[in-house]
Amino acid sequence: KRLLKAIIFSQCFITSTSFATTGGGQSIELLGYEHKEKKLFLFRHFEDASGRLPQLYYYQFNNTNKAPALIEVKSLYINPQTKQIDYYLDHKQFDREIAKIQKRLTPLIEVKDLAPAINITNQTAVQVPTWYDEHESQDQYNYLYQVKSNGFSSAVQQATAYRPELHIAQKFRIPKQNKILVTVEYFGIPIETGYNIEDPVLLTPNKASRR
């Protein structure tokens, strides 16, 4: 426990050394669906002052025998000089590559009539050091949860929050796929005044609904 507290504090301290000018949340941008390769692309944006490029992910839907997993794209972040992954590359080249992908994408269908519910299967609360003082503590909530909606459900998800609250932020249907994509938002970054994290969650038909 002491080692865990030390790690948490050191990470928060490094992040917070520039105070309110450096922090930021994480948000999800849903880019669209590619029919030919059956891929759903999305961005995770890092809304801080680091200058980090957004992380590109995709869900692959061409394997009907396996639950789609969120796959992290690495090929667009290779530094041509070092041949290593570099998330701080020239954004102009990155933007050109993303534009090529976006030309092939169909926008998702936003649905306002859906009412997905977050079903928390496990919740624990622990005390961890605050980012500004290792001798002060704050609550940390660790969740296991599923999202369910009208015959659809997600796999079990994890979240670590610093307020006891999870909520649905975005809701979309995926074209040509009998699936739903939502995002779950929570207070997940406790430094400075605190920031929200948004995670994508894929819902697929329940087994009974597929018959």
Residue 119 to residue 149: CA distance in whole angstroms:
10
User: What is the pLDDT confidence band of residue 202, given thresholds at 50, 70 and 90?
Assistant: very high
Provide the pLDDT confidence category of residue 208 given band limits of 50, 70 and 90: low
- The dihedral built from the CA positions of residue 11, 17, 19 and 25, taken in this order, carries a sign that is negative
pTM for this predicted structure = 0.86
pLDDT in tens, 58-111: 999 987 777 799 999 999 999 999 999 999 998 999 999 999 999 999 999 999
CB 206 within 8 A of CB 154: no
pLDDT of 81 reads 92
Q: Which tokens go with 11?
A: 């990470």
- Give me the pLDDT at residue 3, please: 39
